[in-house]
Structure 1
Amino acid sequence: MQPGKPAVHAPARPVWPLAVAAALVAALIAVPALPGAPQWLGRLSRLVTGSPLAPAHAIVIGLALALVARGVLLLRRAAWYGLVVLTALGLLAVVTGEDPLWRLPILAAVLGGLWLERDRFPVRTHHERVRTAVKTGALLVIAAIAVSLLFGGVSVRSVGAVAAGLGATGAPLDGASWLPGLLGLAGAAGLLVLITTLLAPDPAPPPGDEPERRRVAGLVAHPGSDTLAPFALRRDKAYVFSADGRAAIGYRVLFGVAVAGGDPVGDSASHADAVRAFLAMCRAAGWRPAVLGASDEMLPAWGPCRTIGFGDEVVVRPGDFTLTGRRMRNVRQAVKRTENAGVTTRIVPERELTPAMREQLLDVASRSLDGAAERGFSMNLDELLTGYHPGAVVAIAYDEAKEPIAFQRYVTAGQGVSLDAMRRSPGGPNGVNERLIVEMIEYAAGQGHGLVSLNFAAFRELLDNDERGLLEKAGYQALHLLDPWIAVESLYLFNKKFRPSYRPRNVVFRSWLDIAPLAAALLTLEFGRSRPAASEAEPLTEPVHHLGR
């Protein structure tokens, strides 16, 4: 959990009624100010505003209150302050005689109720957001003053009035006639930017440091970790730990969405506590929690969150795997073709690769990707062939001249080994990838690994179903047409040759209202460029096999 961020628990009573009330008040203030609004809406608006507001002021205040209503749903303390300030200003208007006296007991009761509910808004604004809000406000004031002095013909004596924003209220200012309107626009923009900044989620945290990552490396080796556990060691992930330190979740934050990659790593008895710590951290930071690649077994631990099954992890059990039989003929023939072509193979720990061999294999990877960057999040590691990640082994294929033509990197987890990268030279013989997978399955059996996790089969049920309805047919045709770019169907057909079993994987998220930022975050994580590694980092040693905090 982030240093200095206390755990924030969900309030005992829901806050949505207060958010709905704030949104209704915002609508009552702003809608009557729109052109063509009926007069009765204006009279109804007086129940909220007391005295008439200028249309521009009403719209700005309505928008500001709508932002505050959203902040109430997110339990933001700044939203509570906003409601208190607005209510207090209403009381001040009554006391000074600007508003009717009958509003006094109503506003006093609202202010008292808000004070009693203050503990229901524990999510405090990050200090960087406060600093940004202060800087933004100061810059807007300076810009308004500069425009007034340089272009508006305003005298120095009027600078104080300009800085105070009196031009927005229509107070007389010497200078250009357009200046009050400009200042009003600047004031409105500044108010909305200020509120948006103060209600924004915390900035993304820095990735975990080396001591944290070494600690997570030990948890990855625990038998309770599943086949996606090694990918928690990506160097762009931050970490949150269970209270006993025996489980952890690796995550990244994008667009205010904290995305966990797969299930927690470590002792399965502490997985649920790690989930609770992750959710509490998200509430404290104002992030939307999400998971990419959650297993079916972990879904109950995520509580009332929404889930979407988006595909299956492809898993082979070495103890059950065989090349005999008619169903394995395609794989058997592919292996035989490579043997006839003189292809040989070797499996070696990544940390034992010589510098010359690393350079050759990286050239294979570059030509395989046609110069494209390494991408991925939930089932991909970084630091390809650097020896940085513990438990990584490389299966290498050589041609007749003993030059490497393909390789696959696998990483060890508590339940077995998982495929991370599969690269083949464009001119390499067909069947090399099948050959290396078969060799790795045999290697895993000899090492006592119970599972080999291969590629991911996205939308497998759609591709595997011959009886498709209208929507399913349209989806299948879309996948088929897009396959040259996304390789979903071709990868599914490749995986199917090994007669694997499948482990459903899910996207978990808080609410359907989060779907737009969630989609943006997931697409960026999976298809965006990986963050470059820090040059000063040293390779990890083999993970320890005991647990410690």
Structure 2
Amino acid sequence: MLSDESLRRSGPARPAAGGGPGAAPHARPVWPLALTAALVAALIAVPAFAGSPGWLGRLSELVTGSPLRPEHAVVLALALALVARGVLLRRRAAWYGLVTLALLGLLAVLSGDDPPWRLPLLAAALGGLWLERGRFPVRPHPERVRTAVRTGALLLAAATLFSLVFGGLSVRSVGDVASGLGATGAPMDGASWLPGVLGLAGAAGLLVLVITLLAPDPAPPPGDEAERVRVAGLVLHPGSDTLAPFALRRDKAYVFSADGRAAIGYRVLFGMAVAGGDPVGDPASHADAVRAFLAMCRTTGWRPAVLGASDALLPAWGPCRSIGFGDEVVIRPAEFTLSGRKMRNVRQAVRRTENFGVSSEILPERELTPVLRAKLLDVASRSLGGAAERGFSMNLDELLTGYHPGAIVAVAYDEDKEPIAFQRYVTAGEGVSLDAMRRAPGGPNGVNERLIVEMVEYAAAHGHGLVSLNFAAFRELLDAGERGLLEKAGYRALHLLDPWIAVESLYLFDKKFRPSYKPRSVVFRSWFDIAWLAAALLTLEFGRTRPAQRAAGPITEPVHHLGPS
């Protein structure tokens, strides 16, 4: 039997298209119900505002049944406002909350606490909610439910201990703590200030519980070895994108198209499920992989996003928004030449390394000897100053371990045959993509240019149609001859931040090779997600999460998990 996690990764069944009777219930809009819940929350809050018009107070009693104390009104209004947002996000917990409120109202009528004229109104509300239950596919994750239960139990235990130790509550009156947390106004012994403190703690606890139950699913664990083997096979498909190899990062989870011929690698951060680049595998199944990814996001509550989507696949993302934020830098080996005035800087850089006695070689990563591997890892560590690797959309892991298939290493040696720089490339589809570029401090200038030129020649000799170097973020802004006021401010910000994010310096380095550019976009669900999107993308791309330490000892045998090189 397949687990829930397996079903999510494989991609749930596709809902019926369109908005008619055959359409999936959750395809219909929920904003009317969310707006109604928000209006009810506003009416509940009326007693908290002194001097409200009498007609507004009567409307408030229409939804509450009887006047609320101001403190109750504030807490319930805030809780219901959160529920209204949960309705808009199609959270099943929000539906449960609305049903619970309607049932409590019915019990109040049946017990005589509320007037009987509210009975048909509440019954109609319950009936309507029952009919709309299919619009809320995002069920509370078991971990969120367990967290809510633990939080409630901890709150009750802490409030009881506090009341006994500091509040003067007697042991025989311990049962009154629950009433105090609910701010029911029931009499209780102990200090005069204790009911107010318990009521405040109960209000905060209620809001925390609501937020917890309405939260999206936690981030999933990375894909297992079986899934990664499947993805490695898809990366080798001739139609795979130049960003495809980076789907093999060990921190990514996967969702597959229904036929299993395409997949998307993604990470979840701040509730954003961020895919890196286009799907990998057969282009004919890319759109189906996108549908599976979006369907998974609907059932988990994650906000879908893509960093580095190509223009060709933007239509497959349907109603999602997109922003072009830069270009992938690519060189076509068949068209590359060092001749001409425009390539003078690159020629001079290559000649400079030759004058310094620099030599080089290109070999599969899995053929690195343990001694050479240790020396190259030392170069990598010194190149970063002992800092950690960073990157997401065009950055792989397992540096020089031989873990990833198709990895190629270009190595530069000084005149004493000691390695001073290296670049790692990974193969995918019709080309090779640069993953890591490391040069030891103090090495001669021009080594990186030399290795790139030799890799382009290697790609031409081995039938690779493209060499993807890296990503030029905001290229149009950096390349603009004339800038308006906003463009000047943006350019100035990039220039000042360059020591940390290296956007401008990387663009100027790439520009020397006279490359072609492949536009890439950020895809996201809604403009309301923009703050979370920015936080997630900046953390993924510039957050340093993996230590670049020197090897503790030589690796005697590279791993061979993902198939042949």
On whether the aligned pair clears a TM of 0.5, the verdict is yes
Q: Which amino acid aligns with 1:255?
A: F
Question: Does the CA contact (< 8 Å) of 2:182 and 2:202 recur in 1?
Answer: no
The answer to whether 1:407 aligns with 2:417 is no
Q: Which moved more, 1:381-390 or 1:184-193?
A: 184-193
| Structure 2 unpaired stretches of 5+ | 16-23
Match of 2:73 in 1: 58
Match of 2:99 among 60, 79, 84: 84
Question: Which residue number corresponds to residue 6 of structure 2?
Answer: 3
Q: Give yes or no for contact 2:330–2:515 (8 Å, CA) kept in 1.
A: yes
Q: 1:332 to 1:270 in 2, by over 3 A?
A: same
Please state how far the C-alpha of 1:490 moved relative to its aligned partner. Answer: 1.5
Cα 1:280/1:47, change in 2 over 3 Å:
same
Give, in whole Å, the separation in 1 of the partners of 2:357 and 2:130.
79
Match of 1:539 in 2: 559
Map residues 64-75 of structure 1 onto 2, 5 A cutoff: 64-75=79-90
Q: 1:345-360 residue pairs with structure 2 within 5 A?
A: 345-360=360-375
1:391 and 1:542 in contact (8 A); partners too: no
The 5 Å alignment of 1:451-470 reads: 451-470=466-485
Local SS of the residue matching 2:36? helix
Aligned partners of 1:161 and 1:167 also within 8 Å:
no
Q: Secondary structure at the match of 1:168?
A: coil
Provide the residue aligned with 1:528 in structure 2.
543
Deviation of 1:71 after TM superposition, in Å, equals: 1.1
Aligned 8 A contact 1:8 1:122 in 2: no
Structure 2 Cα separation of the partners of residues 8 and 55 of structure 1: 47
SS in structure 2 opposite 1:405?
Answer: strand
Taking the TM superposition and a 5 Å limit, the aligned residue runs for 1:122-141 are 122-141=137-156
Paired letter, 1:87 = A
DSSP-derived class of the 2:175 partner: helix
Q: Any residues of structure 2 matched to 1:211-360 within 5 Å, and which?
A: 211-360=226-375
Q: State how far apart, in whole Å, the 2-side matches of 1:256 and 1:398 are.
A: 45
**Partners of 1:51 and 1:8 in 2: CA distance:** 46
Conservation of the 8 A alpha-carbon contact between 1:167 and 1:181: no
One-letter amino acid matched to 1:162: V
Q: How far apart are the structure 1 equivalents of 2:563 and 2:333?
A: 24
> Structure 1 residues 176, 63: CA separation in 2 closer, same or farther (over 3 Å shift)?
same
Give, in whole Å, the separation in 2 of the partners of 1:282 and 1:326: 51
| 1:185-204 alignment runs, 5 A limit | 185-204=200-219
Q: Which residue of 2 aligns with 1:472?
A: 487
Contact 2:243–2:433 (8 Å) recurs in 1: yes
RMSD: 2.1
CA distance in 2, matches of 1:56, 1:36: 16
Query: Secondary structure at the residue paired with 1:239?
Result: strand
SS at match of 1:173: coil
Structure 1's 154 and 542: CA in aligned 2 closer, same or farther, altered over 3 A?
closer
The number of residue pairs the alignment matches comes to 544
**Cα 1:490/1:115, change in 2 over 3 Å:** same
Aligned mates of 1:435, 1:328 — CA distance in 2: 13
Retained in 2: the 8 A contact 1:2–1:281?
Answer: no
How far does residue 245 in structure 1 lie from its aligned partner after superposition?
0.5
Alignment of 1:343-492 (within 5 A): 343-492=358-507
Query: Which of 503, 508, 518 is the equivalent residue of 1:493?
Result: 508
1:415 CA displacement: 2.0
Q: 1:447-466 CA deviation, whole Å, 9 max, x = no partner?
A: 10000000211100011110
**SS at the partner of 1:2?**
helix
Instruction: Write the distance in 2 (CA, Å) between the matches of 1:221 and 1:429.
Output: 36
Residues 228, 562 of structure 2: 8 Å contact kept: no
Q: Unpaired segments of 5 or more residues in structure 1?
A: none
Change (3 A) 1:31 1:164: closer
Q: CA deviation at 1:542?
A: 5.8
In structure 2, the CA distance between the partners of 1:277 and 1:496, relative to structure 1 (3 Å rule), is same
Kept in 2, the 8 Å contact 1:236–1:531? The answer is: no
Match of 2:526 in 1: 511
The answer to whether the 8 A contact 2:390-2:546 is kept is no
Per the alignment, residue 169 of structure 1 pairs with 184
The answer to whether the Cα contact below 8 Å between 2:180 and 2:186 also exists between their aligned partners in 1 is no
Q: What percent identity do the matched residue pairs reach?
A: 81
